[in-house]
Amino acid sequence: MKSESYNVDDANLLILELTETVDELLEEYQLSDIETIEFNKLVSEKRRLEYIGVRFALKMLLGNTVLIEYDADGKPFLADKSYQISVSHSKNFMAVIAHPDRHVGIDIECPSAKIEKIYKRFLSEKEQIAFSEGKDIRQLQIAWSAKEALFKIIGNQAVDFANQLELFPFEANSTGKIKAKHIPTDSRYELHYFNTSDYTLAYCLV
């Protein structure tokens, strides 16, 4: 297990790379009775690993065990409402962010060849032209992660990534900022991103 932690705008952010099996994680994290019932309903090893991994990451981030609940849209929140949270996972990576007051959205994505096939689904024609028409894979990965992070804040009013979310031109570096707009409301956002050989991560606080 490897972890990286950051403090960003008074938010706590943790990236966790899991190398453990589900059984090994269960030795490290004690599920509550409610969590055990939910956990036992999961069939795939991947979903079980994600379930424990996210809770383990939040415990590492906040220093204590917390109970996660979900709203009507499936968005996670802490039962005690001590922090606003957002969680994401991709392959064996987990990312969690928490802030006591501000709404947060985070997304982590491991590199995948599918990005070249799907980028026209989440980028408008205007964005496709601005972002090298699909030639800069790193930029596409950052854009995808940024829109996923925004969606986690805005919700169902941003489900159509290509037509409801606009990213303004940015350079694909190892770290950076992205300006964005929710088109239906003309609300403006600023996101931050990390881009490594292992993953791309974007987060936003409002």
Residue 74 has pLDDT above 90, yes or no: no
pLDDT for residue 71: 87
Of the three residues 85, 102, 119, the one that is the final residue of a domain is 102
Question: What CATH number should be reported for the domain holding residue 188?
Answer: 3.90.470.20
pLDDT tens string 101-154: 999 999 999 998 888 889 999 999 999 998 888 788 999 999 999 999 999 999
pLDDT for residue 86: 96
Question: Which residue segment(s) compose the domain that 12 sits in?
Answer: 2-102
How many helices and strands, by DSSP H and E, does the chain display? 7, 11
pLDDT for residue 72: 83
Distance of CA 178 to the CA centre of its chain: 16
pLDDT for residue 1: 85
CA distances from 73 to 39, 76, 105 (A): 20, 9, 15
Q: How are strands ordered across the β-sheet holding 84-90? A: 2-8, 11-17, 93-99, 84-90
Which one, of 139, 196, 125, lies nearest residue 171 by Cα? 139
Point out which residues pair with 90 in neighbouring strands.
93
How many alpha carbons lie under 13 Å from residue 37 in its C-beta half-sphere? 2
> 82 and 36 in one domain?
yes
Q: What one-letter code names the amino acid at 180? A: A
In the chain, the number of structural domains is 2
Point out which residues pair with 78 in neighbouring strands.
68
> 121 and 71 in one domain?
no
> 164 and 144 in one domain?
yes
> 83 and 120 in one domain?
no
Residue 92 has pLDDT above 80, yes or no: yes
pLDDT tens string 18-69: 999 999 999 988 899 999 999 999 999 999 999 999 999 999 999 998 899 9
Of the three residues 83, 102, 121, the one that is the final residue of a domain is 102
Residue 9 has pLDDT above 90, yes or no: no
pLDDT for residue 22: 92
Of the three residues 102, 131, 163, the one that is the final residue of a domain is 102
φ/ψ (deg, to 5) at 7: -115, 115
> 199 and 144 in one domain?
yes
> 6 and 76 in one domain?
yes
> 184 and 131 in one domain?
yes
- 1 against 78, higher pLDDT: 78
Average pLDDT in the 159-185 region?
Answer: 95
Is residue 31 classed exposed, middle or buried when 0-12, 13-18 and 19+ CB atoms within 10 A define those classes? middle
